Structure formats: structure tokens, C-alpha cells
Amino acid sequence: MTQPKNYGFGEEAALLKESARKFFREHFTTDKLHALVASDPTPERAPQCQWDETLWRQLVELGWTMLAVPEEAGGVGMPVAAVAGLVEEVGRAAFPCPLLGTLNATYVLVACKQPGATALADIASGAAATLALTNRHGAWDPAATEVEYRDGALHGTAWFVQDALKCNKLLVCASTAAGHGLFWVDAAAVGVTVQPDGIVDLTRDQAHVTFDGAQGLEVSGNALAVLHEAMPAIWTLLAADMVGAGEWQLQTTVEYVSTRKQFDRPLGFFQAIKHPLVEVMVQIDEAKSLVYNAACACDSEPEKAAQYAHMAKASASDMAAYASSRSVQSHGGIGFTWECYVHLYFKRQKHSQMLWGDAAWHRARLADIVIGSAA
């Protein structure tokens, strides 16, 4: 199969992206974000989950959480390329919400085929979901899970569950008698304990979730194959979020160095400032182009999706690290303070950088595909 030249990013996709940007510009400024999430600077602060649930409901009513749900399951069936455009805008706004988790769960459930239908219907009717796959060491391959399904119930703990406190549903990977399965679990069910983590990133919440005899609906008996199919879209969307956040970092830093004067000139006059910011732009563009290429592969060239998604997430991770570093450094003293907003994005990007594999991990997997496994 081959990709359409324009990434399949048509008029509907452009409209969605534009309306998302407008939505956040009107309803969720960075002032609002800071006021919402940054009230407690204490490093030892208790785990928190600050978000604008009313705005989230509007977003659900707009249908944005069910965009990736296929039409036959009651959703909109938008291509990954269009969804990436939306996620880029969510990243630009750093809007705290379970959209990414819900989209991730959607792609996993779609890969589950028919057994995933009920769960997809939940998402189509507004449920927010997140993946609970990862063990305490950060590994998410099914063989590494610390959750076990025995005697008809789940036992054990899933770690690093993103935006868990904002979700009604969990998609859990557990070892079974036959191998490894995936289970659709109500977050409020008996035997489920969501224990919030105290994290650096202020724009997300995170938890480890303990299952003690919880009930769940088995949506797949072959987690390995399902995740293999779904992960490229998940990496791609996270990279899209990082690209949007990177654009915010670039734009905000450019504005600052254009106005702040030292030695009688705006900082941006100096090449020691100018050239690194150009490099940030170059890296954002590389990541962005690779994101839409990967998204388009998920839609129309699935045999290449993993390869291109590894490229996108590796590129976005390196970009996020560099954009974050330059955004704080170029702001000088003020950039090192809590009152300057750059730290919000710095922390979000550091979190995203490691989430679902850092750059070196993705390059190693890419090498296995392109060069073949090392002897």
C-alpha cells in the first residue's frame, strides 16, 4: 500500500485542527493553566489532579474523544492523521485531560477486533480511558506485566498509569493461564485501588493501580499481537502532542528574546541566542513532518507504521529535550522561576520524552527493523 501525498490530511482534518486551536485559544490560555495547576510549588506536595472538568465535558460533547472510534462502533472513524492534528493542538495548550489515554485505549481496542466492541461503545458514549500496561520498571511488553488474571479476577499492580484519576475505564494487561490478555476494567470497581503518584509534571496526573480480585471484561487473549498493532498510533500521537508543546516553547521563547534587552539590544539579535532557536525550529519541523508521515502510515501503509512511528517518537523526544532546555536557558533568570510559565511545558515535555520509550529505545527498535537484529 502507498500513502496519499498529502498524508490524507484533508479539509475535515484541517477544520478540526483549526477549531481545536481556536477552542484552546479562547477557553484555555496559559494564564489559566498556570492558575489551575501551579498553586502548590512545594517539591513534597501531595499528589494532585488539577483539571478543568467542565471544559473537558465540552470537548467530549464536541465528539473529540470518539474521533478514532470506528463508525460501526458508534464513533467518527477519523484517520490517525486527522487525530494527530487535534492532539498537536492539545499539546500546544498543554491541556490537562485524559484525551491521549482515551485515544490510546481506542487504538488498542480497535486492534482487539470484535471482543473490543463493547468497550469501544463505552468510549463512543463519552467514557474516558487509559492504558494500564506498565510494570514498576517502566516496561510495557506483556511478558513484563505484574498483573495476573486468575480464578476470574485480576491481581497485582500496574504502574505509571497516565491521567488515571481523570478516567472511568482502565485497559489492563495481565498474564493469563493461556498467555497474556487485555481487560476492560471499571476504575471504580470493587478491588481496584488507584494510588496517585507525586510527579514532576503539573499538567498530568499519574498513578499506580492495584487490583485485588477486581472483575474485568477480557477484550483480547493475545496482548502481544494487539499491542504490536496499536503501539505505532500511540507513539505517533504522543509525538504529535510533543510537537504542539514544542511550538509553544519556541513561540514563547522567541517573543521573550525579541523584547528583553541587554547590551542595548534585544537578546534575539545575538547569534548565541538566535541560532539555537533556529535549531529548535528545525527539530520541531523534522518531528512534525515525521509525525504526519507515521500517522498516514497507520492509516494507509500499516506494514511501515512501526518503522515510521519509531522515527517520529525518537525525533520528538530529542526535540522536546532541546526545546525545553533552550526555553529555560534563553529566558535567563526569570526562566528559572516558578512564576514564568516555561516550566509547565519543560516538565510536560520531560515526562513525554520518557513515556512509551525514549529516543534511544526507539532508535534501537528502528535499527532492528531497518538493519536487522545485531549478531
Partner 1 sequence: MSDDSARKDTPEQAEFRAYCRDWLESNKPGEPPVRLPQTPLEIMTQEQLSYLQAWQKAAYDAGLIGCDYPQAVGGGGRKDCQRVANEEMLAARTPFLPNVIGLGMAAPTVFYHAREEVKAELLPRLFSGEEIWCQGFSEPGAGSDLASVQTFAEPRGDKWVINGHKVWTSLAHFAEWMIILLRTDKSHKYDGLSYFVVPIRAALGKGVTVRPLIKITGETGFNEVIFDNLEVDDRYRLDELGKGWQVAMTTLLHERGAGELQGPRSGGMKNRSSHNITTSAVIDLARNTTRGAGTAADDALLRDKLMRQLIREEGLKQNQRRSRVQALLDHPMRLPLQNKLLASEIAQSIAALAVEVEGMASSLYMGDSNAPAGGQWPLSYMNSYGMTIAAGTSEVQRNILGERVLGLPKSK
Residues binding partner 1 (CB under 8 A): 2-7, 9, 13-14, 17-18, 85, 250, 254, 257-258, 265-266, 268-269, 271, 273-275, 277-279, 281-282, 285-290, 292-293, 308, 311, 314-315, 360, 363-364, 366-367, 370-372, 374-375
Nearest to 34 by CA among 321, 265, 340: 340
Closest separation in Å from C-beta 123 to partner 1: 27
> What is the distance between the terminal CA atoms of the chain, rounded to a whole angstrom?
31
Minimum distance from residue 192 beta carbon to partner 1 (Å): 40
Q: Which residue's CB is nearer to partner 1, number 218 or number 358?
A: 358
CA–CA distance, 45 with 38 (Å, rounded to integer): 11
Q: How far is it, in rounded angstroms, from Cα 85 to Cα 356?
A: 20
Q: Smallest distance, Å, CB 258 to partner 1?
A: 6
Q: Which is nearer to partner 1, 65 or 253 (CB)?
A: 253
> What single-letter DSSP state applies at residue 222?
B
- Cβ at position 172, least distance to partner 1 in Å: 32
Residue type at position 182: L
Q: Return the half-sphere exposure (C-beta side, CA atoms, 13 A cut-off) of residue 39.
A: 10
Nearer to partner 1, 8 or 70 (CB): 8
Measured from the CB atom, the residue of 97 and 291 that comes closer to partner 1 is 291
The distance of closest approach from Cβ of residue 324 to partner 1 in the complex, given in angstroms and rounded to an integer, is 18
Which triple of cell numbers denotes residue 215? Answer: 472483575
Measured distance CA(294)–CA(298) in Å, rounded:
6
Residue whose CB is less far from partner 1, 23 or 184: 23
By beta-carbon proximity to partner 1, the closer residue of 347 and 363 is 363
213 vs 276, beta carbon nearer partner 1: 276
> Cell 487490583 maps to which residue?
211
Instruction: Tell me the three state secondary structure of residue 358.
Output: coil
Q: How many residues does the chain have?
A: 375
* DSSP annotation string for 62-112: TTGGGTTS-GGGTS----HHHHHHHHHHHHHHT--SSHHHHHHHHHHHHHT
Using a 10 angstrom Cβ sphere, with 0-12 exposed, 13-18 middle and 19 or more buried, the burial of residue 144 is middle
For residue 262, give the H/E element and its range: strand 261-262
Does residue 123 contact residue 129 with C-beta atoms inside 8 Å? yes
By beta-carbon proximity to partner 1, the closer residue of 178 and 374 is: 374
* Identity of the residue, 24 or 308, whose beta carbon is nearer to partner 1 in the bound complex: 308
Smallest gap from Cβ 269 to partner 1, in A, equals 4
Q: How far is the CB of 95 from partner 1 (least distance, A)?
A: 20
To partner 1, the closest distance from the beta carbon of 268 in angstroms equals: 4
Q: Could you tell me the smallest distance in angstroms from the CB atom of residue 335 to partner 1?
A: 17
- Please give the C-alpha separations between residue 262 and each of 249, 266, 335, 341, in angstroms, as whole numbers: 21, 6, 16, 21
> Which 8-state DSSP code applies to residue 188?
T
Q: How far is the CB of 267 from partner 1 (least distance, A)?
A: 9
DSSP letter at 373 equals S
The smaller minimum CB distance to partner 1, of residues 334 and 367, is found at 367
How far is 103 from 115, CA to CA, in rounded Å?
Answer: 18
The span from the CA of 309 to the CA of 237, in Å, is 9
